[in-house]
Amino acid sequence: MTGFQQSEPARPTGPVVPIAGRRFHAYTAKHLDELTARAGLSPAERLAVRAVATVLPFRTNAYVVDNLIDWDAAPADPIYRLVFPQADMLPEVDVGRMAMLLAREAPDAEVRAAAHEVRMGLNPHPAGQLALNTPALNDEPLPGLQHKYPETVLIFPKQGQTCHAYCTYCFRWAQFVDEPDLKMSMGDAGLLVTYLLGHPEVTGVLVTGGDPMIMGAPVLRRYIEPLLDPRLDSLESIRIGSKSLGYWPQRFVTDPDADDTLALFEEVVASGRCLSFMAHFSHPRELESPIVAEAVRRIRATGAVIRTQAPLIRSINDDAAIWADMWRSQVRMGMIPYYMFVERDTGPQDYFAVPLARAHEIFRDAYQNVSGLCRTVRGPSMSATPGKVCVDGIAEVAGERVFVLHMIQARDPGLVGKPFFARFDPAAVWLSDLEPAFAGRFPFEPDHEELPGLWSQELLEPVS
The mean per-residue pLDDT over the stretch 201-205 comes to 97
The number of residues in the chain equals: 464
Q: What is the pLDDT of residues 428-450, one digit of tens each?
A: 999 999 999 999 999 999 875 44
- pLDDT, residue 216, reads 96
pLDDT average, residue stretch 308-321:
96
In angstroms, the CA 118 to CA 55 distance is: 7
Residue 299 has pLDDT above 60, yes or no: yes
pTM of the shown model: 0.89
Question: Residues 118-161: pLDDT tens digits?
Answer: 888 877 765 445 667 888 898 899 889 999 999 999 999 999 88
CB contact set of 272 (below 8 Å; sequence gap of 6+): none
- Dist CA 385 CA 127 (whole Å): 7
Q: Across residues 287-291, what is the average pLDDT?
A: 97
pLDDT band at 22 (very low <50, low <70, confident <90, very high): low
| DSSP letter (8 states) at residue 177 | S
| Closest to 211 (Cα-Cα) out of 248, 243, 239 | 243
